[in-house]
Amino acid sequence: MSNAPAHFGKVAVLMGGQSAEREVSFMSGNGVLNALRSRGVDAHAFDPAERNLADLKKEGFQRCFIALHGRFGEDGTVQGALELLGIPYTGSGVMASSIAIDKTMTKRVWLSEDVPTPRYVLLKQDNLGEQAQAHVIQTLGLPLIVKPAREGSSIGVAKVTQASELPQALKAAAACDTDVLCEQFIAGDEVTCPVLGEGETAQALPVIRIVAPAGNYDYQNKYFTDDTQYLVPSGLPESEEKAIQALVVKAYQVLGCKGWGRVDVMIDAQSRKPYLLEINTSPGMTGHSLVPMSAKAAGMDYESLCMHLLAHAGLEHSSSAGGLA
């Protein structure tokens, strides 16, 4: 597989998009764009919210680097469009993307394959009343976490420590999604672990331990402050780190992910058992992002990571090449 810039042809870096993470996507996309150009790739910014995807074919783009986050970018929709256009793209295909964006569907697959994940209750936007709230607290106890089932970047996520806080948390999450996920709270170390590759060749990068101000790793602390600490090496016992790496590779494989991804994990402080929260199939590539940080610890700089991902761009159904004009 050639990594020569000319081999890639004309490359579109898809950024922006229509999701709640549009702002973060531009930060990721511009970082990728500059990195690819610095290595001599003929790369161009392309915002699917402003332009028709069919223009990719008309304008002769030969590969796409997906730097979109959230819905219409990370959920299988743009992947399906690129399959029809016959333009190879970075990251997971249609099915893995569409399952992974939905935290509830991800949990169902993981649980069926004995991948540990916190207990949960799924609520619908039109059924958030007192009876539903009582069921959530009875099932999960307090504190608990409330989040939209299909958003990222901690948008709409709240920690509920007393019953009186639950209605507002549900309302905020329901404003983002018709599905509201209520989840058992795991107190302990928060870590994340990227994965590169596909199938049996998938490999975990170093684990990063996240220490956020007051334990609150929210949207602001993810992207716009320097107060959050990212520890890589993680400082975890080696056996614990290796076990987490093996677990996240399994979680990645059972969903059929490829290219790259990042799995977020909580380690129970008492039992030291890891619980997987979610998987990101189009992780952030901003200055604060974690995949580049972990890759750097493994000896791969940001530009090399971008080139590696682009080199592994592909199609699930190569017979679709040359599909839509």
- Given the residues 25, 262, 282, 302, select the one marked as catalytic: 262
How far apart (Å, rounded) are the C-alpha atoms in residues 287 and 209?
17
Sign of CA dihedral 139, 140, 143, 146: negative
Asked if 148 and 173 touch (Cβ cutoff 8 Å), the reply is: yes
- Residue 127 annotated to the active site: no
How far apart (Å, rounded) are the C-alpha atoms in residues 261 and 284?
10
- Given the residues 89, 120, 217, 223, select the one marked as catalytic: 223
- Given the residues 28, 97, 280, 294, select the one marked as catalytic: 280
How far apart (Å, rounded) are the C-alpha atoms in residues 114 and 112?
6
- Residue 34 annotated to the active site: no
- Residue 230 annotated to the active site: no
- Given the residues 284, 289, 294, 302, select the one marked as catalytic: 284
- Given the residues 25, 92, 98, 153, select the one marked as catalytic: 153
Q: Cis link prior to 233 (omega < 30° from 0)? A: yes
- Residue 280 annotated to the active site: yes
- Given the residues 16, 17, 21, 197, select the one marked as catalytic: 21
- Residue 86 annotated to the active site: no
279 beta partners: 263
How far apart (Å, rounded) are the C-alpha atoms in residues 133 and 177?
17
Measure Cα distances from 253 to 27, 200, 231, 248 in Å. 28, 8, 26, 8
- Residue 21 annotated to the active site: yes
- Given the residues 264, 275, 282, 289, select the one marked as catalytic: 264
Containing 145, the helix (H) or strand (E) segment is strand 144-148
Sign of CA dihedral 191, 196, 201, 203: negative
* DSSP states along 38-106: HTT-EEEEE-TTTS-THHHHHTT--EEEE---STTTSSSHHHHHHHHHT--BSS--HHHHHHHH-HHHH
Q: Which two tokens stand for residue 174?
A: 């329901």
Catalytically active residues are 21, 153, 223, 262, 264, 278, 280, 284
